Structures are given as structure tokens and as C-alpha cells.
Amino acid sequence: MKFTSVTIALLCVMGVTAVKSQAQPPRRLAPDLILSTPISADVANDGATVVADFTEPAVHYIAPDGRLKWSLTAKGSGPGDVLQPYRVALGENTVWIYDFIVRDVSVYSREGTYIRRFRLSLPLAIVDDIVAIGDSALVVLGVTRQAAFANSAIHVFDAVGAHKRSFGEVAFAVDRSRLIMTGTGTLARTAQNTLLYVRKGPYQLLEYGVDGRLRRSVTPPMVIAAVVDSLQRIETNAKGRERITSRAAEIRFPLRGAPLSKGLVLSGVSDRGTSRWWIHPPQGAPVPVSLPGGISPSSWNARTCELVAFTNRDDEPALVAVAARAVFPTATLNAMGCVGRDPSTTRRK
């Protein structure tokens, strides 16, 4: 599969939103790290962070104190190489990497040592997200053409890629080919090793166990019907060639959700190009919150009470941490146990 400007446009629709520079940026992680196209990041329970740079290509492991510990930069499709790292996840002692071009998964130790590489036994036409459960299971959000699992979005595999089960309904699309282009939503791991699935359309926030049982349905902050068919504009010129462009600035669609501490959830919606955010308590109505302009949240660092997000610094992509106490109301901080938590102090422990 050739990586083109069209693909880049579609990646924005699939959960990586465009960002603009901001006046007073949050704390930068690994300040000396130069990124090209950061596309995925994950945070472990101990505060370590892994980030995939799609076009460099590279995968970077950042220690809990915010310093760059190691990088994978060997370009290729062999053991220990990266070609186009698209999604990354942290297990208890492992790092999992899904490659967009090779369409397989590589596993490394937390020290950066190559362990194994495998192909998923259930072929997927598109992968939206991956989540590691400990070091023994990989959960993949994606779409398959295999009839038995074509209506399921969440697929569980063992540590070497053998398919175990599938569940969770894919986003609705009249044109199935557009679903395969844009994806079905986003997936994230909670602190309890359950799965937060943000279904793209109709918009739903669903929490599943790895066993496939629905644990909780969080009421979304606004109603969004099926949007997959309207996320791109497909035009055909006189020579019969298709031109695909994103309509992300014209319509309303869900953004990546983030499980926070103590069962709270951060949700977001792109409302015709403007990002809007809410905090959902375990019970009760969602609370609107204002995040700094120009950030695209990726994960939650429960150890430091910070959102890990992508943004721009000096017109260059960067990975930053946004302190919860700077953006969330006091009641939310109390509910998450973040009152009085100073990230700079936590990082030194």
C-alpha cells in the first residue's frame, strides 16, 4: 500500500486531528525528541510512554520521568525493523507495534529488545487501534472482510496472534468501502483492563470486558448519527481518476476518548472543525471542559494526573503532557484523586 497525501488526509478522519500552535504550551515530553508525523501514543500504569512516528519511521520509548530512553529507527520489514509504525501499545513488560504497510505486529521488551513478530490470524482490512492486556493478549479495533466477524469491531488475539473472539458492533456505513477507509472508531484500555470503545456512528461510548461482555454504556455528550459515509468527498475527474478529500471541517464526528482515573471518561467531538470536550463521571451528566487550543489528546497518565497529547511547538509536532489541575474543575479533580498532585513531584518518585 502506497502512503500518499490522500492517506494522510484520511488519517485525520480516523482519530488524529490537525493541531495548531498555542501561546502557552503544556509540559513537553522528551524535549530533545524530533518528531515527523506522530500518530499514536500509549501510557503504561507506571507513567512510561511509547509514541509511533509514522513517516520517520520510528518508535520512541519515554521513561516515566519524561526522558527519552530508546528509539527504534531501523527501517525495513525484517525482525527488529519498522516500516510505517501506525499503532503502539504498552503491556506490563512489553511494547506492541502494528505496522501499516507490513500489516503485522512486532513485540519488544520495555528495554527495547526485539522479542517476536507475527501476523494476525484474522485478516483485517483496516486497524484503528491496538490495546495490550498485560503481556498475554492483544486487542485490535478494526474491520475484517471475513463474513463471520464482519459486523464486529473488537478482536481479541493471544500473544502470538491467534484469534480468540470478536464483539462490539462496527460503525454503520451504507458504503462498506468507506468504512474500510475511515475506520470504525477508537479503543483505549482502562486502569481495570477493560476497553473503552468510541463508536464513530451512531456515536456511542461503550466499555467492554476482554471477554466481550458490555460493562457500561456512557451517554455521549451529543447525538451524532451515522457519519462514515459523509467523512470524505470522493470526486471523479474526466479521466476516471478518483480524488478523495476529508470533510472533517464541515461535519460533526466523535474524537478519541480517554479513560481517566476512578472510572471517569474524557470524550470529544469535532464540531465542524472545532474540538469540544466533556468529562463523564461514573454517574450523572457530562461536564464540559476547556482543553488548551491545538492539542489532540491520546492517553491518560494516572501516575501524574496528566493528559498525554499531540500538538505543535515552533511549527513542529510534539508530544506534551497537560496537567489535569490546569484544565479540569475541582470537583472532577477530587473525584479522580488528583487534588494536590504536583506532576513535577510525582515524576521524581
Each residue's pLDDT tens digit in the chain (349 positions)?
334 444 444 444 444 444 433 344 689 999 999 999 999 999 999 999 999 999 999 999 999 999 999 999 999 888 999 999 999 999 999 999 999 999 999 999 999 999 999 999 999 999 999 999 999 999 999 999 999 999 999 999 999 999 999 999 999 999 999 999 899 999 999 999 999 999 999 999 999 999 999 999 999 999 999 899 999 888 888 888 888 888 989 999 999 999 999 999 999 999 999 999 999 999 889 999 999 988 999 999 999 999 999 999 888 999 999 999 999 999 999 999 998 766 655 555 4
- Which pTM does this prediction carry? 0.90
pLDDT at 344: 58
Contacts of 322 (CB under 8 A, 6+ apart): 26, 27, 291, 292, 295, 297, 306, 307, 309
Decide if 178 contacts 246 (C-beta within 8 A).
Answer: no
Q: How far is CA 163 from CA 137, 157, 160, 205, 207, in A?
A: 10, 4, 9, 24, 21
Locus of grid cell 470486558: 209
Give which of 143, 40, 25 is closest to 85, Cα–Cα. 40
Question: Residue 302 has which C-alpha cell?
Answer: 494516572
Q: Where are the alpha helices (DSSP H) in 97-255?
A: 176-182
pLDDT at 234: 85
HSE-CB for 322 with a 13 A CA cutoff: 24
- 45-65 burial, b at 16+ Cβ within 10 Å, e below that, comes to eebbbbbbbbebbbbbbbbbe
CA 46 to chain centroid, in Å, comes to 19
Strands lying side by side in the sheet with 137-143 = 126-133, 137-143, 152-158, 163-169
Give which of 225, 259, 309 is closest to 17, Cα–Cα. 309
Question: Residue 60 has which C-alpha cell?
Answer: 520512541
pLDDT at 16: 46
Give which of 6, 255, 313 is closest to 128, Cα–Cα. 255
Decide if 343 contacts 27 (C-beta within 8 A).
Answer: yes
Q: How far is CA 228 from CA 38, 86, 281, 283, 285, in A?
A: 24, 21, 28, 30, 27
CA distance 304 to 274: 28
pLDDT at 12: 43
CA distance 61 to 50: 5
